Amino acid sequence: MDMIWLKVGALETNCYIVCTAQKHAVIIDPGANAPLILQQLQQRDWTPVWILLTHGHHDHTGAVRELKTHYPEIQVAIGALDAEMLHDVNKALPFTHLPENAMFVEDRQLQDGDTLSVDELTFRAIHTPGHTKGGVCLICEDVMFAGDTLFAGEIGRCDLYGGDYQQMKKTLRRLAALPGEYHVFSGHGEDTTLDRERRTNYYMRSAVADADLD
């Protein structure tokens, strides 16, 4: 797996471009700065075939429309319960004052456990509500793309449209219980590992400890 890690937009969203041995690329959370993303693809002669969105907030989706004008065949997938956010500026992040033409339609709605394969790489979606209703973490090999669910030492905020802290606690318990170890690439900030978060993330540790009380 080859990967490029970019920080894009005013909120410094992490955008990841993952490429197969056949130079087919998957773009995860292209939140802004489509020209930079296009430059990275073109200078490597990578062809994007999928855009995978961890959730529907505009700081993770803002470059999708422009990317699709350059690559009309590219397809977009998002968690099923977040698809509505791609069609409604008031749900995508109201304080960003989005124009109506920022909206677009997804090609595939991901359910919990769905897989999507590109050449030798397979991405598995885990439904991880809390930050939004339909957020997903995407697992590929030993890597987890966590969006705004899990950060290094933190979690995503739960006070925006579709957020729910009780759901987030259940999500954190589910992630903590996953077998094995994963290198975690989040929607903002630095990378981490799942084991590190199991051991040191206050919110994850608290959610696990409170399991019997919910």
* Count, residues in the chain: 214
Per residue in 156-203, pLDDT (tens digit) is: 999 999 999 999 999 999 999 999 999 999 999 999 999 999 999 999
Cβ(6)–Cβ(40) under 8 Å?
yes
Q: 88-97, 104-113, 133-142: lowest mean pLDDT where?
A: 88-97
Q: What is the pLDDT of residue 105?
A: 86
Residue 110 pLDDT grade (very low, low, confident, very high; cuts 50, 70, 90): very high
Terminal alpha carbon distance of the chain: 39
**Alpha helices for the chain (secondary structure H):** 34-44, 64-70, 89-92, 165-176, 194-200, 202-209
**Average pLDDT over all residues of the chain:** 93
Query: 93 pLDDT band (50/70/90 cuts)?
Result: confident
Where would I find the H helices in 76-164? 89-92
* Tokens coding 98: 């989005």
Angstrom distance (rounded) from CA 22 to CA 203: 40
The pLDDT value recorded for residue 89 is 78
Task: Return the CA Rg of the chain.
Answer: 16
* pLDDT at residue 40, as a whole number: 98
User: Quick one: pLDDT at residue 33?
Assistant: 94
If pLDDT is split at 50, 70 and 90, which confidence band does 102 have?
A: low
Q: In b/e form, how buried is each residue of 73-109, taking b as 16+ CB within 10 angstroms?
A: ebebbbbbbbbbbbeebebbbeebebeeebbeebeee
Taking residue 207's Cβ as centre, other Cβ atoms within 10 Å add up to: 24
Q: What is the pLDDT of residue 68?
A: 94
User: 208 φ, ψ to 5°?
Assistant: -65, -45
CATH number for the segment(s) 2-213: 3.60.15.10
Above 60 in pLDDT, residue 13?
Answer: yes
Q: Where are the domains of the chain?
A: 2-213
| Percentage, residues of the chain above pLDDT 90 | 88
Instruction: Kindly tell me if the per-residue pLDDT of 100 is higher than 60.
Output: no
